[in-house]
Amino acid sequence: MTRRTVLAGLAGLVAPAITGCAGRQPSVQHSLVARSAARPAGGLDAVIDLSHQVEVTNFGLVRRSNILAVIHKASEGGDWFDPTYGERRPEAEAAGLLWGAYHFGTHQYPGEQQAAAFLEAARPGPTTLMALDLEPNDRRPANTMDLGQAEAFVRTVYRATGRLPIVYTHPSWANGEPYGRSGITLGRAITAASILARCELWLVDYRDQPELPLAWTGRGWRLWQYAGDDEGYGGGSRSALCQAVAGVDHCDRNLFAGGAPALYQFWKGRAVGV
């Protein structure tokens, strides 16, 4: 997921963890490494996320790589729309892939305005997964979405669609801990009283054993982004798997907490018991 951010330094991580992929073709050697890289246990490895910085050649090949769902960047802030979102959506759905849209939150615009921009860009249908990308803005720390804006975003999406978006975040960031040299924070920790805690969790944590944010300790994660890659920084020990899906030059990899039937139920907004 191309988010313009680095999650290095959160929770005392030693290795840099980049949530995003920049375009480059995998080498044969890298592909061989990808085949042998160990995948984490405990979920269905069938969800990838993309943006305009990823080269897509064939969504049919993506589907034949045992991928069931794609989450694509739709918008950022209140005035930027991913130029590839609209053209790729029908191609992916025609290939039999479930479709999702995510918004990268910033501080420049109120949460309500960002939600309106996201809905305009994503045009979600009843089976479109919606997601808020809530993390530090590494390139412009002062332009990082705060907790109040995130809550306003979620409330606006819920009022417009009747559905809560899934929230993508790192445990340390969600817990209100300072990030990097800038020392920026979410403003305060997400608590069980926040509307964000009612949303399903899309956890980003590239360690072998992921940590849950405090607000979700009683529920667990629904999606876990376990590997990502951006211009060679890598997404932990499994970054080679970002080049292991046919039809795209690279992607971020996510586990779903459940099997394929539960994944389809979840994407369609129905209750899931897993």
Nearest residue to 78 via CA among 6, 149, 7, 165:
149
pLDDT of residue 20: 38
Distance CA 141, CA 36 (A): 37
Beta bridge partners of 248: 56
pLDDT of residue 39: 79
Query: Structural domain boundaries of the chain?
Result: 10-267
The burial of 61, by beta-carbon neighbours within 10 Å (0-12 exposed, 13-18 middle, 19 or more buried), is given as middle
Other C-beta atoms closer than 10 Å to the C-beta of 26 total: 17
Please give the model's pTM, rounded to 2 decimal places.
0.86
Reported CATH class of domain 10-267: alpha beta
Q: What are phi and psi of 248, to 5 degrees?
A: -135, 150
| Per-residue pLDDT tens listing for the chain (274 residues) | 434 443 433 433 322 223 333 333 333 333 333 444 677 878 999 999 999 999 999 999 999 999 999 999 999 999 999 999 999 999 999 999 999 999 999 999 999 999 999 999 999 999 999 999 999 998 999 999 999 999 999 999 999 999 999 999 999 999 999 998 899 999 999 999 999 999 999 999 999 899 999 999 989 999 999 998 654 334 567 888 999 999 999 999 999 999 999 999 999 885 443 3
Furthest C-alpha separation in the chain:
49
Contact criterion met (CB below 8 Å) for 59 and 66: no
pLDDT of residue 169: 97
Other C-beta atoms closer than 10 Å to the C-beta of 257 total: 21
